[in-house]
């Protein structure tokens, strides 16, 4: 089944035709590591993790690069405020980023380059741009890209040079020939630490933000590759500038397909520190588990804005638990649960199973996770029907469980033990697991002594604390309400 993707560059959905047969090379703009990751970062992490998971599940080889920006004005400022070195700050924030990504079930990319390891490659691009008349060194030492010398600037964002000039989107500086020009190499400033400076033919300095991604992507994927992704906020100017400097230096196309995920909105307003509606991933994980947060994001197509609220997250949590409840009931009925990440082989998508085919069709149509999840809910309904009635339909139940587990793996969900998900983590004031198990044992002893009033009282006591019991031939299990 041919993968189709909305290409921001062409403004239409196109078939994915890898430059190398069977091999997709993808670069995604990662984090600037000066603080904890926020919900906007979570959206990028999950969206492109699903992309690479699905492409691999479809039988393609994927080389996935997601960079780390570890030199930047904000990093220099934050390190100075903290009284620590740039390396100490960025190492610590990278570790925290990995902790958040792991909680969201995000697989590590094949390559996770740090910008500071690619300064020689950046300077080589600057040199080539200067030789082609697309870059110049200003009197104060910065090296700038000459935007008006590059034909086609603005194609990705749909902005014309005249519109940009009229809108004064770029501040006028004395050392720029044109206010639209952007910096490739920043001359060192007296107040900046030595570790933020590199020697270069242009004097001591450091790279501009845009040049970093061009250098890292081309070094690891080649100057012409398949997919470049990132958040919608990077479309202009970052990605527009990447195209200009990369194509300007190499003389060939840069990325064939450009993908951008939508914004995270809080109460229908774009999340922003300036608006005071800003949430870190770590803050959200204090209330909701990582799989719930991931599931919540999958319910919305990656290109659409997503509205974030506690109510929406609780609704997602309830929906996710509904699937895990069906899986737990299947286990209780004797259906074996496949091992985690037991995704179907690519050949299975072209098989006779209608549900797998619908799922594959949705994901192959620009990674439509909302429709793919609808297939999982249909399978959950089929599983529930197979478990009901006088006799369990083990064949139908086994098929539904296998598909839920396998299809879920391609989305990075439904891979945990149903019991661990449904029991969850004890919150403050709630009984812990040992206390619950002790109460269940006391109830069982009361039933064996035919003291049914005491047994019912224990059940009622647990129910009042949000603990629901379910008796089955194999014993008593419990979940949190």
- Alpha-carbon span 113 to 110, nearest angstrom: 10
Identify the bridge partners of residue 136 per DSSP, sorted by sequence position. Answer: 144
Burial zone of 405 (CB within 10 Å; 0-12 exposed, 13-18 middle, 19+ buried): buried
- pLDDT (0 to 100) of residue 350: 60
- Alpha-carbon span 121 to 125, nearest angstrom: 6
What dihedral angle (degrees, nearest 10) is formed by the CA atoms of 341, 418, 426, 457? -170
End-to-end CA distance of the chain: 41
Task: Name the least confident of 124-128, 366-370, 425-429.
Answer: 425-429
Question: 4-261: what CATH class?
Answer: alpha beta
Task: Name the least confident of 118-122, 187-191, 197-201, 224-228.
Answer: 187-191
Residue 272 pLDDT greater than 60, yes or no: yes
- pLDDT (0 to 100) of residue 169: 45
Identify the bridge partners of residue 476 per DSSP, sorted by sequence position. Answer: 471
Q: Evaluate whether 4-261 and 281-422 have a shared fold.
A: no
Selecting from 1.10.8.590, 1.10.730.10, 1.25.40.10, 1.10.3730.10, what CATH number does the domain 281-422 have?
A: 1.10.730.10
Contact 56, 95 (CB under 8 A): no
Helix (H, G, I), strand (E, B) or coil at 113: coil
Residues in the chain: 481
What ranges do the domains of the chain cover?
4-261, 281-422, 426-480
What is the value of pTM for the model shown? 0.87
Name the band, by pLDDT with cuts 50, 70 and 90, for residue 432.
Answer: low
Q: What is the DSSP-derived secondary structure letter of residue 114?
A: B
Residue 433 pLDDT greater than 50, yes or no: yes
Question: Any idea what the Cα angle at residue 157 is, between residues 145 and 260, rounded to 5°?
Answer: 110
In percent, the amount of the chain with pLDDT more than 90 equals 76
Residue 343 pLDDT greater than 80, yes or no: no
- CA nearest 157: which of 171, 169, 146? 169
- Alpha-carbon span 89 to 442, nearest angstrom: 52
Residue 235 pLDDT greater than 70, yes or no: yes
- The encoded tokens of residue 115 equal 């910008």
Q: What is the pLDDT of residues 36-90, one digit of tens each?
A: 999 999 999 999 999 999 999 999 999 999 999 999 999 999 999 999 999 999 9
Question: Any idea what the Cα angle at residue 235 is, between residues 229 and 237, rounded to 5°?
Answer: 130
pLDDT, average across residues 353-365: 96
DSSP element (H, E) containing 334 = none
Average pLDDT over the chain reads 90
């Amino acid at each position: 089944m041919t993968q189709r993707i909305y290409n921001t560059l062409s403004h239409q959905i196109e078939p994915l035709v890898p430059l190398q047969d069977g091999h997709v090379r993808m670069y995604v703009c990662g984090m600037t590591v000066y603080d904890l990751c926020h919900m906007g970062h979570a959206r990028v992490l999950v969206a492109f993790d699903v992309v690479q998971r699905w492409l691999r599940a479809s039988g393609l080889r994927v080389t996935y690069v997601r960079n780390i920006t570890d030199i930047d004005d904000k990093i220099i400022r934050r390190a100075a405020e903290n009284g620590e070195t740039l390396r100490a700050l960025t190492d610590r924030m990278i570790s925290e980023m990995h902790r958040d990504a792991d909680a969201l079930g995000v697989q590590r990319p094949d390559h996770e380059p740090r910008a500071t390891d690619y300064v020689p490659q950046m300077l080589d691009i600057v040199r080539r741009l200067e030789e082609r008349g697309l870059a110049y060194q200003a009197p104060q030492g910065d090296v700038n890209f000459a935007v008006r010398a590059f034909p086609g600037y603005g194609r990705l964002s749909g902005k014309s040079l005249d519109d940009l000039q009229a809108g004064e989107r770029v501040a006028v500086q004395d050392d720029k020939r044109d206010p639209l020009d952007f910096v490739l190499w920043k001359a060192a400033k007296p107040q900046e630490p030595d570790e933020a400076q590199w020697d270069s033919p242009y004097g001591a300095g450091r790279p501009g933000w845009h040049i970093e991604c061009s250098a890292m992507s081309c070094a690891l994927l080649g100057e012409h590759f398949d997919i470049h992704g990132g958040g919608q906020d990077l479309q202009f100017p970052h990605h527009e500038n990447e195209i200009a400097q990369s194509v300007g230096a190499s003389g060939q196309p840069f990325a064939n397909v450009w993908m951008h995920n939508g914004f995270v909105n809080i109460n229908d307003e774009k999340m922003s520190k300036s608006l005071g509606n800003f949430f870190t991933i770590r803050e959200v994980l204090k209330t909701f588990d990582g799989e719930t947060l991931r599931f919540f994001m999958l319910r919305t197509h990656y290109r659409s804005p997503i509205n974030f609220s506690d109510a929406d997250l609780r609704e997602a949590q309830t929906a996710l638990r509904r699937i895990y409840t069906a899986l737990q009931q299947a286990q209780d009925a004797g259906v074996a649960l496949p091992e985690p990440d037991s995704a179907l082989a690519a050949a299975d998508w072209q098989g006779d199973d209608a549900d797998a085919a619908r799922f594959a069709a949705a994901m192959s149509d620009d990674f439509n996770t909302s429709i793919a999840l609808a297939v999982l809910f249909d399978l959950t309904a089929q599983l529930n029907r197979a478990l009901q009635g006088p006799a369990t339909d083990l064949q139908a139940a086994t098929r539904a469980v296998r598909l839920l587990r396998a299809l879920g793996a391609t989305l990075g969900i439904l891979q945990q033990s149903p019991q661990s998900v449904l029991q969850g983590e004890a919150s403050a004031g709630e009984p812990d697991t040992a206390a619950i198990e002790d109460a269940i044992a006391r109830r069982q002893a009361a039933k064996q002594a035919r003291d049914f009033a005491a047994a019912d009282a224990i059940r009622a006591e647990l129910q009042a604390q949000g603990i629901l019991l379910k008796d089955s031939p194999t014993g008593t299990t419990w979940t949190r309400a």
